[in-house]
Each structure stands twice: as structure tokens, then as C-alpha cells.
A and B are shown apart, each in its own frame.
Chain A
Amino acid sequence: MSYSVPKIAGESDTIVGRTEDHLWARWEVFVRPRGGVTHVYSESVHAPDAETALLNARDTYLRRVEGVSLWVIPSGAISRWDEHQALPESRSEEGSARRLWEAFIRHRRGAQFLHAGSIVAADAVDAIVRARDAFLTKTDGVAIWVAPSEAIVAADPDEAEMLFEPFADKGYRQATYYDIPEEVGYM
């Protein structure tokens, strides 16, 4: 008997809930793993809104890492600096409206960005300068991201049970769950 996967008529020509350029916005995902002390960058997802971004991030990045907290940040809200770019030597002293920023540090090439902490700063460049002064030592840190704190969309702690626990006892989600026949050798 043969029964193929049904053809979903018209799916490809229907565009729903996307932004004007027909692409969903990109969101950067940060997960605090169980036992971890800080949120770790986990790459990105695409989603039309914050709620969908959180759900997509959960389904994409919590399948194999057991997480206890989840953040998504619109990619466009993040200002980025790396060691090859010049930075002002001193902080901005302008007293105008300051606000809270979250700083993420990459400590060496190839490592993931880690949430380092919060700082009060006048603007994105000022936030990067202050993050460098506060969180980097001379021998440490090759890149910094900053985002206004209010740009962070965090999973509601009351929903942690629903978001994170279902992954806890599902060994079959891990590749190591499956026995590999001897003939296959190393994969």
C-alpha cells in the first residue's frame, strides 16, 4: 500500500502575518541552562511577533539544552562592537536621558555571547564603552552586544513549568539515546 504525504494546496502562494518585505523579523535567542549562572546566546529565530518568537525559540533551542529561562531580543535592537572597531576612549558625560542597557560579552573568538550585566548609559555607543570598562579586562573580550533592557522579551517565570519541564525526561530527543549498530561505526 502506498500513501504519500498529502499535497497542501496553495500553501506556497499564501503569505500570512509577515512584515512588508515578506520575511519575518529576526530575533536573537538567549537561554539560561539548568545550573547555569547567566543567559547564553543561542543563535536566532524568525517570527512575526514577540509571542511567536518566544514559542519558536523554545521549540528550536530548548530541545537539547535543558533551560530555566528564555529571552528573545529583536535583532535590530542590538548594537554590536568587535575588537576590530574603534571605540571612543571615554564615556559620554552628557546628562541627558539615560536608560538601562543589557550587555553581552564574547570573551574569546568562537565562544558564545554571555549576558554580563546591566548598565546605565546615554546611547548605544556609550553603553558599549561602559560595558567594555565594566565587564572586560585587558586580556579578555573580543566583542560586545548591547540592547535596551526594555527590548528583552522574557518568558514569564509563571510559565516555566510549561515551557521548560516537558523536555526534562525525554531521552529520545538526544542522539545518544539511540544504539548505533556496530556495522555503522563512528558517525
Chain B
Amino acid sequence: MDTITTSRPLATYLIRHGDDNLVLAQRLAEYISWAPELEEDLAIANIALDHLGVAHHLLAYAASVEGDGRDADALAFLRSEREFTNLLLVERPNDDFAVIMVRQFLFDAYQVPLWEALAGSADTTLAGIAAKAVKEARYHLRHSRNWVVTLGDGTEESHRRTQHAFDELWRFTGEMFVGDALDTDMAAAGIGVDPASLEAPWRRTVLEAIADATLSEPEDTTVRVGGRSGFHTEALGHMLGEMQWLQRAYPGLEW
């Protein structure tokens, strides 16, 4: 399978993680004003802004590493679906509140050990971004885990929907731990992390919450991959249409 690359491997690496945060930020932003409670609406807006902030740091740094004249906005708004390298998990649509919270939880449980590892990166800028992001990610995890347990151990309806969300999203989780040549190179250089090393801590966090939520671990399914290579589910294109149309229709517009 093709790998999306830019002129510099480090930039490619930064864009992957930037895209994860950018796409999830947009997904969460779509949900603003739809949350079941005002307080939760504010919480989701906050979490979306946290992800957007991380995305901005990573994409701006990627743009400077790249040195091709693109900036963070160009990376966010002027790349096509095929050039986005986010994980498939974060582009999954907001089917219902359970899906939103389970998607968030599965990703938070991955981001905490990811940022913990990258906080020790040999690249000091990336290490600095990670050191900030890990504080936010720990909070996100506490928030989403709390909801997973509340919903799973709640009413019959909320239990059913939460189990359904885990079952639906499970096939997109394996991708987080599948590395490619770039991951190997980045880990060998002390800049990045081997994704496979994040699976054990992720599983501990996830299985413990599933047990607390009185849910069942989903059965093994075929692992879906492709996001890191730009092969996405149908959902991403629609999302980018909404996210990018203003810059596409009015290039260079500022406000």
C-alpha cells in the first residue's frame, strides 16, 4: 500500500498525529449544541479546542520542517481526503452520544501513552508539544471513561447503545498499533515511538473500563487499516467538505 510522504519524513510523521487531532476536533465541533446537557456541550467544546490546539502545534511545526511554503492552514484546508493521514477511528461519524464517547475513550486511551512516550522524544519541539498534550489527554481520558462507565452501567438502553458503539468501533482500533517503515525509522532515531508498544497500556485501560461499565469486550474482528496511507472511510470526505469549503470557495480568506 502506498505511503503518503512529504519532502521530509519528520514532517510526514508530525502530520499524521496532527491529522488525528484535527479530524477529531472537527468531529467534536460538529456535535456542539447537540449534547444532552449544557455542561456536556461545554465539555465537548473544550475537548475539541484542546485537540485543535495540538493539531495546530503539530501542523505548524510540520510546515516549518517541510519548508515548502505551506503553513498549518494550508495543511488543514487545502489538502484532499487522499492526503489526510489520520487514523480511521477519529473520522467515524457522530452516530449517537455513545459512539461519540466510546470513540473518544478508545482514542484517549491511546493518546495518553503516546504523548507520554513522545514527551521523551529526541526532537525537543515534538517533546514540548507532547508534554503539554499529555496533560490534556489525561483529562480527556478521565472525562470519556467516566461517561463510558456511566452509560454502560446505566439504563438498559444506554448499556445497549454503548456495547453497540464498542462493537462498531472495535475494528478501527487495531490500526493505532500497526507501524510502518516511517514509524520504525522515527523510533530508531529516538524521535518517534513504536506504535506496537502502546497496545499493552491501551488494552489495560480499555478492558478495565469495559469491566467497570458491565460491558463485554467485543469479539475479534478484521482490523481495518489505511488511514496512515490516505485510504479513508466514506465519512472523511463529507467531513472535509464541510470543514474546507470556505477556504476552497474563497481562497486566502481571513477573518
Interface set of A (CB-CB < 8 Å, partner B) = 1, 3, 5-6, 8-11, 14-17, 24, 45-49, 51-52, 55-56, 58-60, 63, 159, 161-163, 165-166, 169-170, 172-173
- Can you report 8 residue pairs joining A to B where beta carbons are below 8 Å apart? A1-B241, A1-B242, A6-B93, A8-B34, A16-B150, A17-B154, A55-B142, A162-B139
Judge whether A56 and B39 touch: CB under 8 Å: yes
- CB contacts (< 8 Å) of A47 on chain B: these are 39
- CB contacts (< 8 Å) of B132 on chain A: these are 166, 169
| Centre residue among B39, B142, B150 by max chain A CB count within 10 A | B39
Checking A45, A56, A162, A170 against B53 with a beta-carbon cut-off of 8 angstroms, the contacting residue is A170
Judge whether B238 and A3 touch: CB under 8 Å: yes
Judge whether B146 and A52 touch: CB under 8 Å: yes
- CB contacts (< 8 Å) of B42 on chain A: these are 56, 59-60, 63
Which stretch, B3-11, B43-51, B167-175, touches the partner chain A?
Answer: B43-51
Judge whether B135 and A14 touch: CB under 8 Å: no
Judge whether B50 and A5 touch: CB under 8 Å: no
Q: Which of chain B's residues has its CB closest to A9's CB? A: B96
Q: For the complex, what is the distance from the CA of A24 to the CA of B49, rounded to whole Å? A: 26
Binary A-proximity of B224-243 (CB < 8 A = 1, otherwise 0):
00000000000000110110
Checking A5, A17, A59 against B46 with a beta-carbon cut-off of 8 angstroms, the contacting residue is A59
Binary A-proximity of B182-193 (CB < 8 A = 1, otherwise 0):
000000000000
Q: For the complex, what is the distance from the CA of A3 to the CA of B36, rounded to whole Å? A: 22
B239 to chain A, nearest CB (A): 8
**B97 on the interface (CB 8 Å rule)?**
yes
